[in-house]
């Protein structure tokens, strides 16, 4: 069920409206009866990192970190 509140009421009940939105209720803020915005929770995809998950899937050239001559960088300028 959509809960529609006007701006003045939203100012006084913001904490409760946020709690309602986090609980899954649809909250719409209106001005003069005209809907303007809606409150909804931000979805965050929490990425679980595992050390070594890419082991054997990434290849790096043996000479990737060899010395790069200064002339190379001056030529880029």
Count structural domains, the chain: 1
Q: Are 26 and 2 in contact (CB under 8 A)?
A: yes
Residues in the chain: 77
Note whether residue 52 is domain-resident.
no
Note whether residue 62 is domain-resident.
no
Cα–Cα distance measured from residue 9 to residue 19, given in angstroms and rounded to the nearest whole number: 15
- Residue where the block lists tokens 């409206």: 17
Q: What is the DSSP letter of 33?
A: T
Cα–Cα distance measured from residue 70 to residue 75, given in angstroms and rounded to the nearest whole number: 9
- Interval 4-57: pLDDT, tens: 999 999 999 999 999 999 999 999 999 998 999 999 888 877 788 889 888 899
CA angle 30, 33, 35 (to 5 degrees): 40
Q: What is the domain range of residue 27?
A: 2-39
Note whether residue 16 is domain-resident.
yes
In this structure, what CATH number is given to the domain that contains residue 10? Answer: 3.40.1620.10
- Interval 55-64: pLDDT, tens: 899 888 888 8
């Amino acid at each position: 069920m959509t809960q529609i509140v006007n701006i003045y009421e939203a100012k006084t009940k913001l904490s409760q409206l946020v709690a309602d939105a986090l609980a899954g209720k649809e909250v719409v803020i209106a001005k003069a009866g005209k809907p303007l915005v809606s409150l909804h929770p931000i979805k965050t995809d929490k990425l679980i990192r595992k050390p070594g998950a890419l082991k054997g899937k990434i290849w790096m050239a043996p000479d990737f970190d060899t010395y790069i001559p200064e002339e190379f960088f001056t030529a880029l300028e």
